[in-house]
């Protein structure tokens, strides 16, 4: 076999953990672990949802040989040179797993590599990309017949999560996924913890868990539950919480609220095993909803609007404008105001189904109202069963990572 380089292009935390991880594992399974023959590199492009820890996460994958962070991306895109002046083998494949689909076109041309794109909803540059692995047949419906041979339905990469997770539903566990960025955590932490406290007063036997995002450390997470650091605790009448590290009587770190509720903090990544045991999850919008949907876990999707300029985690131009120094707040308020007027479906499972199969709650959300909704769902398990059924119905095929790896192998051979 001729030595080859495989270059993975990706961007945000969701893509790194749920797309890149299973694909590099599948590549090593099919192509072997001999680094003199197959070398896997990851290059990150800008993403408004990025935390800055994506490079470290990618480098932690044993299948990956080298990683370049987002701060050096434009230099690489424009000039074809990495910050550390990486060498490149004469044969290789660029694999797109997040970002802008023009990036593999440009980089593939500079390196003289074949290009493979994973496309969830839209496939672009049909004449310039060599192969597409698409989530569903509908992505390729409007493709010109002369490019149809480039398209392969591989299924949903998120389903790789489900394949490695436990399938048992736990009847007394509620998951809390408030996000990983400050824009969401500022409102999300006090709101969801206040909801948990309300539920706890009604059903103290219920347990709560927060699967901590891999890009978020515990002190930062807890700071959003501190009234001295986050004024939004008062907005939701949440009195605060503190961090309790593991001791003999509990295995995991705890977030202990002032009202005496203990919430387990799970830092394993990915957190599919614990998520799959949850009866229901409280989550913000974003990649969380896709992961939960792929696992078939019921959810309530929360988007509080008490702070209109808080939601700055938009993709593309809106995200860039909302985070501009000085003018960012004005742009954020305008973007969010327009969004609330024209709001469509927000959660990924709902977008997949083109209908609201999991509730999306947007507005001046109050803990007691959301708590009552959760209690009602728990009291009527048939409603949760219907939600699980609908989530499973809209998922794509499984085995996407192996199919993408197979496409890469075919491109190497060609």
Query: Tell me, what's the pLDDT at 307?
Result: 61
Two tokens, residue 334: 């305008």
Contact present, 321 and 186 (Cβ < 8 Å): no
Residue 143, classified by CB atoms within 10 Å of its CB into exposed (0-12), middle (13-18) or buried (19+), is middle
Contact present, 114 and 128 (Cβ < 8 Å): no
DSSP letter string over 351-395? HHHTS-SS-EEEES--HHHHHHHHHHHHH-HHHHHHHHHHHHHH-
Phi/psi of residue 187, nearest 5 degrees: -95, -35
The overall average pLDDT reported for the chain is 87
Residue 133's alpha-carbon distances to 129, 155, 268, 315, in angstroms, are 11, 8, 29, 22
Q: Which residues of the chain are modeled with pLDDT < 50?
A: 164-170
Q: Is the dihedral of CA 153, 158, 164, 169 positive or negative?
A: negative
**Residue 247 has what DSSP assignment?**
B
DSSP, collapsed to helix, strand or coil, labels residue 195 as helix
- 220 contacts: CB under 8 Å, gap ≥ 6: none
How many CA within 13 A on the CB side of residue 402? 7
Query: Tell me, what's the pLDDT at 268?
Result: 83
DSSP, collapsed to helix, strand or coil, labels residue 264 as strand
Query: Tell me, what's the pLDDT at 13?
Result: 78
Query: Tell me, what's the pLDDT at 291?
Result: 84
Contact present, 125 and 102 (Cβ < 8 Å): yes
Phi/psi of residue 221, nearest 5 degrees: -55, -50
Question: Which segments of 80-228 does DSSP mark as H helices, in order?
Answer: 102-111, 159-163, 182-202, 218-223
Helices 367-379 and 381-394: crossing angle in degrees, nearest 10, is 90
Query: Tell me, what's the pLDDT at 183?
Result: 80
- What does the alpha-carbon distance between residue 17 and residue 161 come to, in Å, rounded to a whole number? 10
Query: Tell me, what's the pLDDT at 337?
Result: 59
For residue 238, give the nearest of 186, 194, 302 by alpha carbon.
194
What domains, with CATH codes, occur in the chain? 4-158+397-413 (3.40.50.2000), 163-394 (3.40.50.2000)
What is the H or E stretch that residue 406 is in? Answer: helix 400-413
Residue 46 CA, chain-centre distance (Å), reads 15
Query: Tell me, what's the pLDDT at 345?
Result: 83
Query: Tell me, what's the pLDDT at 334?
Result: 65
Query: Tell me, what's the pLDDT at 14?
Result: 76
Contact present, 282 and 174 (Cβ < 8 Å): yes
Query: Tell me, what's the pLDDT at 402?
Result: 94
pLDDT in tens, 337-357: 565 655 668 888 998 888 999
CB atoms within 10 A of CB 172: 13
Contact present, 203 and 257 (Cβ < 8 Å): no
Radius of gyration from C-alpha coordinates of the chain: 22
pLDDT in tens, 135-152: 888 888 888 889 999 999
């Amino acid at each position: 076999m001729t030595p080859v380089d495989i270059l993975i292009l990706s961007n945000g935390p969701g893509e790194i953990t749920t797309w890149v991880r299973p694909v590099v594992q599948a590549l090593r399974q099919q192509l072997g672990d001999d680094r003199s023959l197959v070398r896997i590199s990851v290059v990150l492009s800008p993403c408004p949802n990025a935390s800055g820890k994506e490079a470290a996460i990618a480098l932690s994958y044993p299948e990956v040989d080298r990683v370049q962070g987002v701060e050096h991306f434009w230099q690489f895109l424009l000039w074809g040179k990495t910050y550390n002046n990486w060498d490149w083998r004469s044969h290789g494949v660029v694999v797109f797993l997040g970002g802008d689909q023009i990036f593999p076109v440009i980089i593939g041309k500079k390196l003289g590599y074949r290009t493979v794109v994973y496309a969830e909803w839209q496939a672009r540059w049909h004449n310039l990309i060599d192969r597409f692995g698409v989530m569903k047949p509908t992505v390729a419906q409007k493709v010109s017949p002369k490019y149809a041979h480039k398209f392969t339905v591989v299924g949903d990469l998120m389903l790789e999560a489900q394949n490695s997770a436990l399938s048992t539903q736990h009847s007394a566990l509620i998951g809390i996924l408030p996000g990983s960025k400050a824009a969401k955590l500022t409102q999300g932490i006090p709101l969801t913890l206040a909801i948990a406290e309300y539920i706890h007063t009604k059903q103290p036997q219920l347990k709560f868990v927060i699967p901590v995002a891999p890009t978020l450390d515990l002190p930062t997470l807890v700071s959003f539950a501190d009234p001295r650091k986050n004024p939004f605790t008062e907005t939701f009448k949440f009195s605060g919480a503190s961090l309790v590290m593991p001791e003999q009587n509990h295995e995991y770190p705890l977030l202990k609220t002032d009202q005496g509720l203990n919430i387990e903090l799970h830092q394993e990544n990915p957190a599919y095993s614990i998520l799959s045991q949850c009866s229901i999850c409280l989550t913000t919008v974003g990649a969380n909803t896709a992961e939960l949907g792929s696992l078939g876990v019921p959810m309530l999707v929360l988007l509080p609007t008490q702070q209109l300029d808080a939601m700055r985690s938009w993709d593309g131009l809106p995200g860039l404008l909302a985070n501009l120094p000085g003018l960012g707040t004005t742009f954020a308020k305008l973007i969010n105001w327009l969004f609330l007027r024209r709001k469509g479906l927000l959660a990924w499972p709902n977008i997949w189904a083109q209908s609201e199969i999991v509730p999306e709650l947007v507005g001046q959300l109050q803990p007691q109202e959301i708590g009552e909704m959760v209690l009602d769902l728990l009291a009527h398990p048939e409603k949760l069963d219907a939600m699980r059924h609908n989530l499973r119905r809209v998922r794509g095929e499984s085995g996407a990572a192996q199919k993408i790896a197979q496409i890469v192998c075919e491109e190497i051979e060609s």
